[in-house]
Amino acid sequence: MSVLEAIFFLFATVLVVSAFMVITARNPVHSVLFLVLSFFNGAALFILAGAEFLGFTLILVYVGAVMVLFLFVLMMLDINLQRMREGILNYLPLGAAIAFVLVVEMAMALSTGSGGAPVIGGDSALGGPEAGNTTLLGRVLYSVYLLPFEVAALVLLVALIAAIALTLRHRPETKYQVPGKQVQVRREDRVRMVDMPAEQRQPTTGEEKSAES
């Protein structure tokens, strides 16, 4: 066994164990942390396979953004763990059916192999033998698949605007700041000078006794 194979089996073993801990951990926060570990090991396997773009994207997008968001949401929510565990066996048949379908599809994919011709190659017009995986992917994405890429970006933009619109609520009891009015305010509008006569301070009981003595 070579060193590369040993590293591959190490990352694969940690990936399988962490994925198993995701579905067996009792604490949801621990499940998210094990899921982050699974993503790291999956990214390492992608890098070992020569797909460095997918590996770094997995780390930046899922670990750096999505999983951190999930972790903060789970930590801020008051989750009743005892109620979540109730009736978990009712979902066992559905979960087993989905797992069986996934295993069958994975077996078919591994047994069939890649029968189709690749979209690009090392000696294609989009890149020579010295071009890397990320370079070739970028050239194909912005040339052959430019229109689907722009459509996907437009769909994501619409989803982002819709999410902001759904969370934007105008409540009458909420006070908002208007910077334009704050800049235009004058001193006379906020400060009022009041002329009051001076009041004579009444002596306290201790001061009266000391004066009499």
DSSP 8-state code for residue 59: I
Exposed (0-12), middle (13-18) or buried (19+): which is 131, by Cβ within 10 Å? middle
32: domain CATH number is: 1.20.120.1200
Query: Does 118 reside within a domain?
Result: no
- Name residue, tokens 């801990």: 21
Per-residue pLDDT of 58-81, as tens digits, reads 888 887 777 777 777 766 666 666
Per-residue pLDDT of 112-135, as tens digits, reads 544 444 444 444 444 555 567 778
Query: Does 113 reside within a domain?
Result: no
Using an 8 Å Cβ cutoff, are 123 and 129 in contact? yes
pTM recorded for the entire structure: 0.54
Q: Which of 30, 32, 39, 31 is nearest to 11 (CA)?
A: 39
Q: Which of the listed residues 15, 44, 79 is the one where a domain comes to its end? A: 79
Sign of CA dihedral 25, 29, 33, 36: positive
Nearest-angstrom CA–CA distance, 158 and 154: 6
